[in-house]
Structure formats: C-alpha cells, structure tokens
C-alpha cells in the first residue's frame, strides 16, 4: 500500500493528456482581459474534470492481478473515490468560471451564459450530466443519510449515463475528438466489463464442502472449486457471491472476504463474521451450496520486497489474513523469517483462531503469538508491545481489523516512532 506504483503513471497520463493536448489551442486564446482569462480557466477545468471522471471510471474495471500495478484493490477504490471528488469539484469550478466571464457586463449575461436557450443543447448536455452525477455521488457523502450498500452500488450505475452526457458535452467543444473517443471507449469498456460481463466471465463456480462453526456469529466456509480454481497469496481477498436463493439474504450479492487458507490448501477457506444481512445469512449456509468466487485481489502481506522481520496485528475477524500467513508457515513456506502475531480480541472466547495459531507457533520456528484481551487489558498500548515484542519499532508492521482499531494502533505506532512507510493496513471497509 506504500509508495508509487506503475499504475499511478497510467492514471496521471489519462488525467493530464487531454489538457496537455489542448494547451497550445487554449494558450492562443489567452489575453489579459477578464473574459479571456475566465474563458481559459473554464476550458482548462472542464477538460480536467472530464479526464478525471474518465480515469475514475476506468479504475472501476477490477481485473484480478492488475490491481497490483496500483498497490491493490483497496488503494484503487481510494483513488477512484478521490478522482470522483476531484471531478465533481472541477465541474463546479468550470461552471463558476463560465458564469464569471460575462459578469462585468451584467448579471443577466452571466445567468444567460449558464442557462442559454435550449437551442444551445451542448451546454444542456453538460448540465444533464452534472445532475445525474449529483444523484449518484450524493449518497457517497451521506448528504441524505446513509444508504444501504447494495442500493448505493445500484445508484452508482448512473455514472455510465453521466459519463456519456459529459463526454458528449465536452466533445462538441473539442476541435479534435480522437483522444476523447479513445479514453471514453476505454472508460465505457471498463464499466461494461465490470457490470455486464465479469459476473459471467470472471466469477468461478465453487461449492461449500463443509462449514466450521468458530463462534456464535463466526463460521469458516471450506470451498472447493468446480473446475479450475483460483490461486492466491496470503493476505489476498476475493468477492464471494452466494448462488442459493434459499438464503435469508445476500443471494447473488457479491461481498469481499479475505482468504484464510494457505495457498497450498486444497480448500479455499473463508472466515465470516455476521455483521449485516448478507454475512448473517451466510452463517446458515449448508454444505453443497453453490457460490461464485472472483479474484484474488490485494497486496496486503504479499507485496514485493517483503521485509524479513514482521509484526502482525489482527483484531476480531481482521485476523483472517494472518491466519492464511500462519497456515502457509505451517505448510513450510514462511512469508518472513521472524513474525510476532498480536491477536486482539475482547475476551478469550472471541479469539476463535487462537488455539490453531498457537499450535502453529509451537510447532514452528520464527513465529510467536500473543493474545491481547481488551476486557481485561484495555486498549493496546505501547508498553504491551514493548513487553511482548521489544524490537517492534524495527519491524514491518501489518494491521488488519475494524477501522477504529486500525486508527488507534496506527497512531500508537507512529507515536512510538515506527516510520509511516513501514505500517501496512487493511481495513475491512472500503468506504
Ligand atoms: C478487503 C476486505 C476484506 C474483508 N474480509 C473479510 C473477512 O475475511 N471476513 C469477514 O467476515 N468480513 C470481511 N470483510 C467485510 C465484509 O465484506 C463485510 O462484513 C460484508 O460485506 C458486510 O455485508 P453485510 O450485507 O452483511 O452487511 P451490511 O450491513 O450490508 O454492510 C456493513 C458494511 O460493510 C461494508 N460492505 C457491505 N457490502 C460490501 C461490499 N459488497 N463491498 C465492500 N464493502 C461492503 C459497508 O461499509 C457496509 O456499511 C472484508 C472487507 C473488505 C473490504
């Protein structure tokens, strides 16, 4: 998750190329007059808004493996969201400069430049695109309260018509549309792949072989592929789609889950904690049930150039990437030479993978496991880490769990002097 990735260059090119291509033409219009200056800034912000919107759309493609170029899918979603916000702000800047250009003449002229007669339809295409964008982007920022995740996702499909309207608006004003055609087709292909084709072509059929009950609200599904399965690295996650209509919820709904088994395991094991309708329904899934699996994604715990001494800190169900790493260790393929695993749980019965992790540590060299219970020890502290793992400041640190826990532990580590670039996090929440 740290540093620069090759994909960053691709994003920069997509965002910057249209503006760079238009610069000579825009520069010729530059005069030292208010109207010309506003006109140039309106054009520049409009071009940047469209290219940023297109880059955000391209990033929604979600190709397994390709997410590595960008530092993993979680980082891609963060960039996608940032680009979406930037596009939105740039559109408003574009509108403001269009309105400002004729303002010294009169307020009426300014209003007319924004809302011309309908005959000037290219401008109205822009407004229509912006209106559709507001509808799908507003729930992302909880403008009208929190929307259920699946409804939010369906609403996000409006990004496709918003993109087409925005492109049509921009292309009317562009003397050369070749680059816009190219970028527009790539962005639309990304959306078509993701929404129309990948559910049929990228999801692999698996069957639930057995279900292990780890706690009242936690199960581990043991999945077997029907046909060619997926290969993975510790720390990676997949999208799992149940294909059983008898489930109380979540039928044909994809959700991300980390793979908890070792890459050499016959089963793909997924530990699931019921926190909402779809995950709670999976607590009742029966052996023989059909699911679809798409992935794997992510670079957590499997980035290139991995450090030999590591500290793993997992909280609650966020222990699953480390369960995969420990199981790989058990299979004789350690991911590092020296690992200290701190297992954070409220109470002993909530540390549902602890017995297995401790058994692996007892039977292997180089891996130690410490359980920390908040009910008796309070929140994790620097003193606790110092006592259990005195060299924690020199280690590469991996953190996974709920967002609140990650924020607390990350701040603690930074205060203790662990450099930011050595702290790797995976929150089980994209939003
Ligand atoms: C990279 C990653 C790995 C994960 N690994 C595991 C795991 O190994 N075990 C486990 O139990 N849970 C894991 N989760 C969390 C799991 O995906 C959510 O608990 C589940 O999606 C919640 O769905 P729900 O309908 O039961 O609950 P809801 O009440 O619908 O959702 C609860 C919250 O989960 C998030 N969420 C819901 N649906 C999705 C979705 N399709 N995509 C992304 N986020 C969503 C939203 O923030 C939502 O607010 C992981 C999440 C991520 C992002």
Smallest CA separation from ligand 1 atom 41, residue? 255
What ligand 1 atom has the least distance to the C-alpha of 320? 8
Q: Is the CB of 279 under 6 A from ligand 1?
A: yes
C-alpha 248 – ligand 1 centre gap (Å): 17
Q: What spacing in Å lies between the alpha carbon of 429 and ligand 1's midpoint?
A: 6
How high is the pLDDT of residue 306?
A: 62
Q: Whose CA is closest to 219, among 264, 292, 284, 310?
A: 284
272 Cβ below 6 A of ligand 1 = yes
Burial class (CB in 10 A: 0-12, 13-18, 19+), 74: buried
The rounded average pLDDT for each run of 10 residues, N- to C-terminus, in the chain (431 residues) is 82 97 92 93 97 97 94 94 96 97 94 93 95 88 74 90 96 94 97 94 97 97 96 96 96 96 96 96 97 96 77 96 95 86 96 97 94 96 97 96 94 97 87 49
Residue intervals in the chain for CATH 1.20.120: 6-200
Compute the distance between CA of residue 214 and CA of residue 351 in angstroms, rounded to an integer: 9
Q: CATH 2.40.30.10 in the chain: give the residue spans.
A: 204-297
Asked if 143 and 103 count as a contact pair (C-beta separation under 8 A), the reply is no
- Return the residue whose CA atom lies nearest to atom 40 of ligand 1: 255
Pick the CATH number of 204-297 from 3.30.420.40, 2.40.30.10, 3.20.20.80, 3.30.70.2740: 2.40.30.10
CA atoms within 13 A on the CB side of 142: 5
Q: How far is CA 162 from CA 93, 111, 185, 309, in A?
A: 18, 23, 14, 48
Question: Ligand 1 center to residue 402 CA distance, Å?
Answer: 11
Give, using CA atoms, the residue closest to atom 37 of ligand 1: 149
Rounded Cα distance between 408 and 419, Å, is 16
Backbone angles phi, psi at 341, to 5 degrees: -105, 120
Measured between alpha carbons, how far is residue 185 from residues 252, 289, 300, 385 in Å? 28, 38, 32, 52
This prediction's pTM: 0.92
Count of other CB atoms within 10 angstroms of residue 224: 13
The CATH class of the 6-200 domain is mainly alpha
Predicted pLDDT at 2: 58
Fold of 309-427: Rossmann fold (3.40.50)
Cα 322 to middle of ligand 1, angstroms: 18
Residues 6+ apart with CB under 8 A from 33: none
Report whether residue 255 contacts ligand 1, using a CB cutoff of 6 Å. yes
Q: 70 CB less than 6 Å from ligand 1?
A: no
Task: Confirm or reject: Cβ of 271 under 6 Å from ligand 1.
Answer: yes
Cβ atoms within 10 A of the Cβ of 34, count? 14
- Å from CA of 76 to ligand 1 middle: 17
151 ligand 1 Cβ < 6 A: no
213 Cβ closer than 6 Å to some ligand 1 atom: no
């Amino acid at each position: 998750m740290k540093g620069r990735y090759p994909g960053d260059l691709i994003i920069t090119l997509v965002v910057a190329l249209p503006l760079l291509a238009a610069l000579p033409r825009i520069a010729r219009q530059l005069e030292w007059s208010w109207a010309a200056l506003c006109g140039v800034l309106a054009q520049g912000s409009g071009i940047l808004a469209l290219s940023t919107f297109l880059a955000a759309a391209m990033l929604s493609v979600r190709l397994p493996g390709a997410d590595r170029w960008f530092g993993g899918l979680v980082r891609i979603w963060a960039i996608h969201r940032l680009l979406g916000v930037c596009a939105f702000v740039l559109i408003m800047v574009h509108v403001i400069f269009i309105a400002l250009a004729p303002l010294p003449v009169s307020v009426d002229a300014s209003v007319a430049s924004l809302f011309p007669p309908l005959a000037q339809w290219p401008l109205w295409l822009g407004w229509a695109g912006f209106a559709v964008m507001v509808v799908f982007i507003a729930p992302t920022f909880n403008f009208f309260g929190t929307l259920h995740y699946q409804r939010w996702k369906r609403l996000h499909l409006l990004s496709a018509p918003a993109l087409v309207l925005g492109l049509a608006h921009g292309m009317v004003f562009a003397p050369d549309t070749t680059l816009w055609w190219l970028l527009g087709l790539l962005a639309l292909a990304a959306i078509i792949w993701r929404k129309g084709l990948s559910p049929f072509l990228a999801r692999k059929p698996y069957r639930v072989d057995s279900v292990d009950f780890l706690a009242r609200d936690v199960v581990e599904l043991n999945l077997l592929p029907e046909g060619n399965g997926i290969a993975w690295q510790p720390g990676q996650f997949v999208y799992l789609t149940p294909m059983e209509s008898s489930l109380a919820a979540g039928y044909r709904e994809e959700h991300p889950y980390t793979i908890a088994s070792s890459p050499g395991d016959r089963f793909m094991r997924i530990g699931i904690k019921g926190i909402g309708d779809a995950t709670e329904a999976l607590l009742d899934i029966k052996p023989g049930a059909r699911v679809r699996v798409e992935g794997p994604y992510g670079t957590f715990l499997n980035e290139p150039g991995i450090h030999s001494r590591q500290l793993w800190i997992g909280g609650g169900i966020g222990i699953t990437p480390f369960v995969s790493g420990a199981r790989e260790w058990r299979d004789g393929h350690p991911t590092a030479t020296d690992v200290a695993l701190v297992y954070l749980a409220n109470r002993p019965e909530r540390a549902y993978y602890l017995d297995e992790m401790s058994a692996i540590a007892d039977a292997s060299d180089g891996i130690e496991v410490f359980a920390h219970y908040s009910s008796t020890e309070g929140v994790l502290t620097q003193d606790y880490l110092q006592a259990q793992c005195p060299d924690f400041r020199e280690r590469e640190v991996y953190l996974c769990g709920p967002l609140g826990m990650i924020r607390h532990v990350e701040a603690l580590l930074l205060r203790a002097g662990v450099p930011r670039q050595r702290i790797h996090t995976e929150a089980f929440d994209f939003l």
